[in-house]
Structure 1
Amino acid sequence: MMEPSTHALFRDDPYLKEAAASVLAVNERGGVILDRTIFYATSGGQPGDTGYFERADGSRVEIAATVTGQTKDEIIHVPAPDQPALAPGESLRISIDWPRRYLLMRMHTACHLLTVVCPYPITGAAVSPDDSRVDFDIPDASLGKEEATQKLMELVRADHPVFIRQISDADLAANPGLVKSKNVRPPQGTGSIRLVCIGDEGLIDSQPCGGTHVGRTSEIGEIHIGKIEKKGRENRRFRLRFGPLPVA
């Protein structure tokens, strides 16, 4: 049986705060699958969106999490406890928690810039609204948090454009350096791979990513490296936090 597929509006426009949608299905655990959604589902280190659905009578169904099912196209909206049940075919007005999402967009874009400042293989990453991390395979900690913050903020203030373009599996195979992760490969086989590009013609950075990002680097705002932690012989964890670097 084919799983229901959702049109992911956030992939084309991450700035959508609300939209109309219809219920396709409700699974056995109460997870709601819509025909279209602006809710990002947990993936690639970025947490899923929260928010609410508004029904025709004006009542709300609070959404506590968004996750994927068997495929990336099966996006499941998880209601908070004790919410009213929805039925297939029901029309809704859906709204994300925009302040939270925008923080995640700014932070996720900053993580991409950090991979420019630290051009080393990525061994792990996690995005959150206030304290994100990117782990690198670095043999020594020659780059301190002050220098890393300075270089990061130079890229932020340069106001580089951030945009999406699609490439083929063959294009990726011909340009393996686009993949910065040491252990995780982007999904292939669909005929198209989504690249997040920064700078004119993507000259600052281009890498496969399915997350949500701001449209220009200046939107990130003030950000700094809060800590660099040693996680093994060659693994360094860089923690990103909003605001200026605290004075020692």
Structure 2
Amino acid sequence: MTRKLFRDDPYLRDAEARVLRHTPEGGVVLDASVFYPKGGGQPGDSGVLRWQGQVMPVATTVVGEGDDIVLVPAEPVALPPVGAQVLQSLDWDRRHRHMRVHTALHLMSVVVPFGVTGGAISATHGRLDFDMPEAPQDREALETALNHYVEQDARVSDGWISQAELDAAPQLVTTMAVQPPRTGGDIRLVRIGEEDDWIDLQPCGGTHVARTGEIGALRLGKIEKKGKMNRRIYLHLDS
């Protein structure tokens, strides 16, 4: 099992770890990872591994068997041997942009109050697909609302609730913008705002900034029709 350091501290850029195994495809599994694996619309992290004077560029990170987190080499190079101690270092600028975009998309799910049917994140922009029959008419009002939440510099935090706790308190579901997944295990909740005065609360496994002010100015992009009841809205970081 790989310990998810990115979940303990999404701002951790470097950490030592031990190589647990290699995958048949040529990936590397560590006992602890600062690298976030691709999932929930968020790309896998990139960066480098260093050991004994050698370097392995990491192109991306994916989920492997069980709870394994697999680092995928960017090119055919020697892998750190099983048991070796390595220093893992993120491409921090790219990750931090993913964190900004991901948190911004949570805000967009607030200002566009329709069911979310899909989404994707990049280092410059993101998009959400909404279950809505018509495109929103007032783009300027949406953009203003988004940037208002950014300027509030609201706190972003997380917590956990078990399936049993949720079943025992079904009223909690009414406070969430998104229904929680029921695939077993505890559910991680990401909250924007304070516990008694929140802006958004929804299940999410991704990485986020600590405060909305860190997102920076946002710009609404294209709005596309992707089906009779589906509208895709793009959101861009201004810098």
Normalised TM-score (structure 1): 0.90
CA contact (8 A) 2:177 2:200 kept: no
Q: Hey, what's the Cα distance between the residues in 2 that align with 1:187 and 1:46? A: 20
**Counterpart position of 1:106:** 100
Residue in structure 1 matching 2:46, options 40, 43, 50: 50
Task: Name the residue aligned to 1:180.
Answer: 178
Give matches, 1:118-133, under 5 Å: 118-133=112-127
Is 1:224 the counterpart of 2:219? The answer is yes
Q: Please tell me whether residue 62 in structure 1 is matched to residue 57 in structure 2.
A: yes
Deviation, structure 1 residue 76: 0.5
The answer (yes or no) to whether the contact 1:33–1:75 under 8 Å persists in 2 is yes
Alignment match, 1:22:
18
Letter aligned with residue 115 of structure 1: S
Separation (CA, whole Å) in 2 of partners of 1:230 and 1:171 = 39
Give runs of aligned pairs for residues 183-194 of structure 1, distance below 5 A.
Answer: 186-190=181-185, 192-194=186-188
- Say how many residue pairs are matched: 234
Q: Counting strand residues as a fraction of each chain, which structure ranks higher?
A: 2
Structure 2: stretches of 5+ with no match in the other structure: none
User: What does the per-residue CA deviation read over 1:34-82, in whole Å, with 9 as the maximum and x for residues that have no partner?
Assistant: 0001000000000000000010x222111111000133x2101111122
CA RMSD of aligned residues (A): 1.6
Match status 1:214 vs 2:209: yes
User: Unaligned 5+ residue runs, structure 1?
Assistant: none
1:223-242 Cα shifts (integer Å, max 9, x gaps): 11111111112211110111
Match of 1:160 in 2: 154
Contact kept? 1:145, 1:226, Cα under 8 Å: no
Q: TM-score, normalised by structure 2?
A: 0.93
Correspondence 1:11 to 2:39: no
Deviations 1:154-188 (A, max 9, x none): 0000000000111111344413443626xxx6253
| SS of equivalent to 1:231 | strand
Identity of aligned residues (%): 46
Displacement of 1:243 in angstroms is 1.3
CA positional deviation for 1:145: 2.2
- In the TM superposition, residue 16 of structure 1 has moved relative to its aligned partner by 0.3
**Residue pair 2:110, 2:177 contacting (<8 A) in 1 also:** no
SS at match of 1:211: coil
Query: C-alpha displacement at 1:131, in angstroms?
Result: 2.4
